[in-house]
Structure formats: structure tokens, C-alpha cells
Amino acid sequence: MVSVLVTGGAGFIGSNFVRFALDAHPDWHVTTLDKLTYAGRLETLHDIIDHPRHTFVRGDVADASVAAPLVRDADIVVHFAAETHVDRSILSAGEFITTDVFGTFVLLEAAREATHLKRFIQISTDEVYGSVAEGSSLETDELKPRNPYSASKAGADRLAYSYFATYDVPVIITRASNNYGPYQFPEKVIPLFVTNLIDDLHVPLYGDGGQIRDWLHVNDHCRGVDLLIESGINGEVYNIGGGNHVRNVDLTHRILELTGKTEALIRHVADRQGHDRRYSLDTTKLQALGWAPRARFEDGLAETVGWYRTNEWWWRPIKDADPAFRAYYEKQYGKTRV
């Protein structure tokens, strides 16, 4: 049995990867390590928490007493755990440095001592490249993070590479574009807008809405990571992008159409500080290994909207019964109920 450690496995991308891994690899035993902060929730693992090839451990990646033994026992580590929301990083950068950089350091230190570790997949982001006015970012391009979140991910990204170069830890680094799909915490734009519109709440559109993002379905991301575990080259960086470049204002109108709502529910708000205008990834390197995105954005977005419609049991307690979330949201955007 192959022992696989997934950090942040009760979060959005991590939980989808745990499901994918258990389904795709009957010879894998997956251990999920998650601190269960605001965005990591046991409810997200409701259908697999008791799977016979799954173990859940509650703990912080920055706590070596918990995390290090799990790394040392693993054949594969897939490191998703991170603070990820740009808005929160602007308000409180320290938490991002602790989790994203120091937490990665703790895992890498343990990986140095892991005698049978075959892969350490460091999950990074396209945001480390900064705003890309034209063209698409190559894995060799300069990193220019422009907010505390992307800077913390760039730091972890390069720290992971240094452990490959210095200690021969079998690190592979992935940089993915904006993910979407089921179980995404409703502070992110797609689930925030969908769930707001279900309740006839305004949706906050930053600035002129002209920011461009490349949307990647979470299942395509999982497939890319899985392929790299099998066929990637240690020490290399691989971009994973969906090839779906959409302006935020156009995304907003697509969601309005899918939810049957009108433009009257759009609220224009002041643009985010240091808001990157455009991201775009060149995925030639990963596609050379045989990967390509399968989800058409139009279909994937419709399916995602449908998932939030039919799974209010998951997101409504977050938005309605979590005082911290409501206080944060109202501080950022004001009261939005119509």
C-alpha cells in the first residue's frame, strides 16, 4: 500500500484531490492533515472521512510534533495546506507567512529525514508571476508577487526548490491558475457570487471588472498533479492552467444568467489594493507529458452553479451561522442584502 499524505485535505482543492486519489488509486492509503481553520471543514470530507483507505489527522503543518512523523512515514506528500485569500492577506499578512512559508519549512525538514519519500509536490499558484500584461507565463519567468499571499506562496515555492537543490528532496512544484468547482469556500469569487445570488444579495465587483483570470476546473488540476506524481521530473516546475481567460465582469454576467438574476444585483466596489490585472499560464511543459484540460468552462461553470444550488447544507452554515465570516464580509463590502 502506497502511503500518501495530503496537507490541507479538508480544504477546497485538497479535498477534491483526496477523493480523486482514493478513486483512481486502489493501492493508495491517503492521510489528510488539516488544521480545520475557517476554510478547512470536516463537512467537506463527509463522504470519505470513514473510507477504509483514508485517515484524518487534525493538526497544523507548522507544528513539527504532528506534521513531521506523518511526512517521515509517507511515500508521497502533496502539500496543499496554505492561507490563500488575497483580501485576508492584505488585512493580516503574518498568518500567511506562518502557514505558507514556515509550515512548508517544517514539512521539508521532515522530508529530509524521510527514507522512502518518492515525491514531494509543492502546490504553488500562478499569482507568483505577478500581473501579466500580455502573453503567458513560462515556468522560467521571473517571479513578481504583488501581495502578501502571492509573496508567501513564492517564498514557499522557492524554499521547496532549495531543498531539492541542497538536500535532494524529491520536490516537484506546480503553479496552477484559478480553480473552481465544488466545496470551494464562499469567500472566493465564484461561490461567493453564486450563493449571494441564490439569496438575492448583491455581488461585489472590484473596480471596472476588467481583471482577467484563467479558470481551471479542480478536477483537471487533480489530474495534473496525479500525472506529475507519476511522470514529473524532480526539481522541475510545471504550470497547470485551464486556458479559459475570462474578465471578472464577464464571469459575473455568466453567473447572473445561470442563476436567473439581473444586473441590478451587481455592486461596484473600490478596487483591491495591488490588484493584479491579468494572469495567464503557458502549459506546454505539462501538456508534453500527456495532460490537457477536459472541462469546458461553460459546462464546468454551469455544473458548479448547480452544485451550490443543490448543496446548501454545506455552504449555508458557513455564511449564515459563522459570525466571523459575516463580520469579515460586511467589513469588506458592507451589508449587501437587498
Catalytic residues: 126-127, 149
Residue 98 CB: number of other CB atoms within 10 A? 15
DSSP assignment of 69-89 equals HHHHT-SEEEE------HHHH
CA distances from residue 321 to 11, 66, 316, 332 in whole angstroms, order as listed? 19, 30, 8, 18
Q: Determine phi and psi for 76, rounding to 5 degrees.
A: -135, 135
| DSSP structural state of residue 188 | S
As a whole number of angstroms, the distance between CA 195 and CA 201 comes to 8
Q: Is the dihedral of CA 307, 310, 315, 319 positive or negative?
A: positive
Q: Which of left, alpha, beta for 195 (phi over 0: left; psi -120 to 50: alpha)? A: alpha
CA distances from residue 301 to 59, 216, 307 in whole angstroms, order as listed? 33, 10, 10
Paired with 6 in beta bridges are 32, 78
Candidates 6, 51, 8, 43; CA nearest to 26 is: 51
